[in-house]
Amino acid sequence: MKSRATEVGRIRETDEHLGAAANHSSLWLGCCSPSKIAALKEGEAWVEKHKPHFDVIHIHPSYVGGRNDLAQTVEDLCTGTNPSKYPPESIPSLRHELTYLAALVFLESVLGKDSDEYPGPRVANYIDVDDVAKAHVLSLSEKVAGGQSFLLTNKGGDMKWNDAQAVARKHFPHAVSSGLLPNDFAEQQFMVLHCDISKTEETFGKSKSYEETIKAIVGQYLELKEKAK
- pLDDT tens for each residue of 175-218: 999 999 999 877 767 888 899 999 999 999 999 999 999 999 99
CATH number at residue 159: 3.40.50
Q: How many residues does the chain have?
A: 229
Contact 221, 186 (CB under 8 A): no
Contact 7, 55 (CB under 8 A): no
**Of 27, 226, 219, which is closest to residue 106 (Cα–Cα)?**
219
Run means of pLDDT, 10 residues per run, the chain, 229 residues = 42 35 47 83 94 93 88 78 46 34 63 58 87 95 94 93 94 96 80 93 97 94 91
pLDDT at 34: 85
pLDDT at 57: 94
3-state secondary structure at position 169: helix
Q: Which residues pair with 55 in a beta bridge?
A: 4
Helices marked H in the chain: 16-20, 26-27, 33-50, 74-77, 91-94, 108-111, 129-138, 163-171, 173-177, 198-204, 210-227
Cα distances (Å, whole numbers) of residue 20 to 26, 36, 104, 163, 193: 11, 21, 18, 24, 14
To the nearest 10°, the Cα dihedral for 182, 189, 115, 106? 40
What's the whole-number average pLDDT of the chain?
A: 77
Cα 154 → chain centroid: 10
Q: CA 128, 132, 136: angle at the middle one, nearest 5?
A: 165
Amino acid at 211: E
pLDDT at 36: 85
Measured CA to CA, the distance from residue 67 to residue 89 in angstroms comes to 19
* Structural domains of the chain, count: 1
pLDDT at 120: 60
Contact 58, 5 (CB under 8 A): no
The pairing of strands 55-61 and 149-152 is parallel
pTM, two decimals, is 0.78
Domain that holds residue 180: 4-227
Give the containing element (helix H, strand E) for 60.
strand 55-61
Cα distances (Å, whole numbers) of residue 139 to 9, 76, 218: 15, 29, 29
Measured CA to CA, the distance from residue 44 to residue 11 in angstroms comes to 14
